Amino acid sequence: MGLVFRAAAAAQGLGEDLRGAAVRHWRGLSRTPKHEAPWEEEAEAAGPEFLLPNERSFQNAAKSNNLDLMEKLFDKKVNINAVNNMNSTALHFAVGANHLSAVDFLLNHKARVDVADKHGLTVIHLAAWSGGLEIMLLLVRAGADQRAKNQDGMNALHFAAQSNNVRIVEYLIQDLHLKELDQPDEKGRKPFLLAAERGHVEMIEKLVFLNLRTSEKDKEGNTALHLAAKHGHSPAVRVLLTQWQEINETNEKGETPFFLAVEGGHEECCKVLAAAGSDINIPNQLNITALQTATRKGHASLVSFLLSEHVDLHPKVEPKESPLHLAVLNNHVTVVNSLLSARHDTDALDQRRQTPLHVAADLGHVELVEALLQASCDLKAIDKQGKTALAVASRSNHSLVVDMLIKAERYYAWREEHGESSRDPSVSFPLTFKQDHSVETRHIRRLLWNLAYRQLKAGEWQRLARSWNFTDEQIRAIEEQWSGKESFREHGYRALLIWLHGALLTQAAPVKHLYEELVRAGFPELAGQPPRSLSPGLEGC
């Protein structure tokens, strides 16, 4: 406390020296311009200005601590208490910019200290916010109302706590004994909650020391721990945890501090709270879990952290959309892969009884469809409208996804028929259902293109497809992407590429197999010559 009293005495002496000094003394003080405060920018955008030219110049001089100009304008009888369109005076700007010399000049010339701007801000609020203890001392001595509130119910203690001005708090509580300032504002937040919301560790510790710590909630049911966690202030959370017993307390929306930290994507804060014993599975009032929130927002590293903490993948209360649905819906590929690696249920149903594959197929997300297909999801599941993922993709005109789904249906049907490990070990092609652009298959794809676009006639590709055990649903799905009378050529080429996908995964010599299949299907004229003359060098493709 000795430091505060010494600062007060020094400021008092400075004030007396300033008031008794000659005009030359004003010219020697600092005139370094400061950055404009936020409320100044608002004033500039508030509409037409009603100040006289000299009054506007005087306010600008107060903003920039230009004492020469202030003195000249004062000698011209300028109204130093004139207000702008926000009802702010020159003293507001001088205090807000923490210009001690300009403030002292104004007070020495009887500037009013009781004017509130359109938001109810007085100079005592601005001094508490900007942190100028010397200015605060001058204002108090000039009669400024220390208990004034703005329109949001905030007083000087609120502003000092919010801006981490410890010396101002000490002065208000220990010197002026204004403990009654420790009241909730219009949002129900006491200074302690505002300090926590801003993550001011020093202020939190000072308020605890002054017995101004509170476990009370604001009007939204948030404690100080909620507010610090919501904004990701890990150091503040650590300090608050030493003061807190119930870390799983919920606000009006049923959100715990941990839930709010996840919602904000604050991973470090989540780790601190989890280590302190937070329940990571508590849903909010809408039965939305922290995992769902992280997946919806695409916080990949947070999802990985939650999975490492053994978060409940399948809560007892059935959610409207599973975490996997939300990750797919928002096209978060990394999150989807993390959930699949953690063995999330690939066949979970949402309110429309759609699986994640239905959603990915409907949106045409190729990478997500690929990931789900490789996870062996249920291809036969139907939604409320009785549609499979293939029917949904076909309806949405996503031809790439349609082809991927047909490839998967055929591959898994073949594997089921021949056993799980029956894939030919000599085949080196990786399991993928995406469109093939590999160099290794370029020649055989050219052969198939020539077959589809130059040799197959309308209706023939369907006949060939049926001989290869394409289902009627698969054929209809291909046909649904119609682009004109010549569509059958594109459809045929797609069917041939789908056949090639299966042949590459199950056959050692796909070109030879194609020759045999064309003959067997009743197209000997298309088969033509034996494989070597059909496509030199490709018989072992």
CATH 1.25.40.20 domain range(s) in the chain: 1-183, 292-396
Using an 8 Å Cβ cutoff, are 138 and 11 in contact? yes
Percent helix, strand, coil in the chain, to 5, is 55, 0, 45
This prediction's pTM: 0.81
* Confidence tier at 21 by pLDDT (50, 70, 90): very low
Unique residue bearing structure tokens 């995406």: 434
Q: What is the pLDDT of residue 506?
A: 77
DSSP 70-99: HHHHHHTT--TT---TT---HHHHHHHTT-
Query: Is the pLDDT higher at 162 or at 34?
Result: 162
Q: What is the pLDDT of residue 12?
A: 42
* Confidence tier at 269 by pLDDT (50, 70, 90): very high
What are the backbone angles phi and psi of residue 34, rounded to the nearest 5°? -115, 160
Is the pLDDT at 13 greater than 90? The verdict is no
SS3 of 303-321: HHHHHHCCCCCCCCCCCCC
Q: What is the pLDDT of residue 310?
A: 94
pLDDT in tens, 202-227: 999 999 999 999 999 999 999 999 99
In the chain, pLDDT over 90 holds for what percent of residues?
73
Lowest mean pLDDT among 13-22, 145-154, 344-353, 362-371: 13-22
DSSP 436: P
Q: Which amino acid is at 428?
A: S
Is the pLDDT at 261 greater than 70? The verdict is yes
Unique residue bearing structure tokens 């590459």: 504
Token digits for 118? Answer: 């359109």
CATH architecture of the domain 292-396 equals Alpha Horseshoe (1.25)
Using an 8 Å Cβ cutoff, are 173 and 212 in contact? yes
Mean pLDDT of the chain: 87
Can you name the CATH fold of 426-534?
Death Domain, Fas (1.10.533)
Is the pLDDT at 27 greater than 50? The verdict is no
How far apart (Å, rounded) are the C-alpha atoms in residues 157 and 149?
10
Strand, coil or helix: 190: coil
CATH 1.10.533 domain range(s) in the chain: 426-534
How far apart (Å, rounded) are the C-alpha atoms in residues 187 and 363?
42
What are the backbone angles phi and psi of residue 120, rounded to the nearest 5°? 85, 10
Distance of CA 69 to the CA centre of its chain: 48
Query: Is the pLDDT higher at 195 or at 2?
Result: 195
Using an 8 Å Cβ cutoff, are 212 and 182 in contact? yes
* Confidence tier at 420 by pLDDT (50, 70, 90): low
CATH code of the domain made up of 1-183:
1.25.40.20
Token digits for 361? Answer: 């197929």
Listed as own residue / partner, the contacts of 486-490 with beta carbons closer than 8 Å and 24 or more positions apart are 488/456, 488/458, 488/459, 488/461, 489/452, 489/453, 489/456, 490/452
**Which value, to the nearest 10 degrees, does the dihedral of the CA atoms of residues 239, 245, 248, 251 take?**
-80
Using an 8 Å Cβ cutoff, are 335 and 293 in contact? no
Using an 8 Å Cβ cutoff, are 248 and 283 in contact? no
Using an 8 Å Cβ cutoff, are 94 and 60 in contact? no
pLDDT in tens, 523-532: 777 666 544 4
Is the pLDDT at 23 greater than 60? The verdict is no
In the chain, pLDDT over 70 holds for what percent of residues?
85
pLDDT in tens, 328-369: 999 999 999 999 999 999 999 999 999 999 999 999 999 999
Is the pLDDT at 44 greater than 60? The verdict is no
Q: How many helices (H) and strands (E) does the chain have?
A: 32, 0
Q: Would you tell me how many other CB atoms lie within 10 Å of the CB of residue 463?
A: 12
Is the pLDDT at 392 greater than 80? The verdict is yes
What is the dihedral sign for C-alpha 452, 456, 461, 465?
negative
Lowest mean pLDDT among 114-118, 177-181, 430-434: 430-434
* Confidence tier at 501 by pLDDT (50, 70, 90): very high
Token digits for 425? Answer: 């070990």
Token digits for 144? Answer: 């400024």
Strand, coil or helix: 187: coil
Q: Would you tell me how many other CB atoms lie within 10 Å of the CB of residue 332?
A: 22
Using an 8 Å Cβ cutoff, are 133 and 11 in contact? yes
